Amino acid sequence: MNLTTREETVLAFIARGMSDREIAARLAFSVSTARKHREHLLAKMQLRKSSQLTMVYLARQPGLFKKAGRWPRIIHSRNASANTWNGSGAA
């Protein structure tokens, strides 16, 4: 999935645990703009939680996983605590 430079920057800040307010201050825009960036990333990647964005950020780092370039597959279930992440890309 291709991300813009701004999306990559916001994703990196989210992965570092920064709040919308902190991201807005760092990038000199409003808190609502930071929130919209977060919401857009979640929608674009079909995710529900910011913690999942962190997993995607880590998976995009070169050499972190054996199969670089493959997206991790996030398996959703009705029970949120049962959601699992499979870095191999297989279900």
Q: Which residue has the tokens 């813009």?
A: 4
Q: Examine residue 75 and state whether it is found in any structural domain, yes or no.
A: no
Q: Examine residue 38 and state whether it is found in any structural domain, yes or no.
A: yes
Q: Which residue has the tokens 């990333």?
A: 41
Question: What does the pLDDT look like over 12-49, one tens digit per residue?
Answer: 999 999 999 999 999 999 999 999 999 999 999 999 99
Q: Average pLDDT of 51-80?
A: 71
Query: For position 35, which CATH number holds?
Result: 1.10.10.10
- HEC string of the chain equals CCCCHHHHHHHHHHHCCCCHHHHHHHHCCCHHHHHHHHHHHHHHCCCCCHHHHHHHHHHCCCCCCCCCCCCCEEECCCCHHHCEEECCCCC
Q: Examine residue 39 and state whether it is found in any structural domain, yes or no.
A: yes
Q: Which domain holds residue 16?
A: 5-65
Q: How many domains does the chain have?
A: 1
Q: Examine residue 12 and state whether it is found in any structural domain, yes or no.
A: yes
Q: Examine residue 81 and state whether it is found in any structural domain, yes or no.
A: no
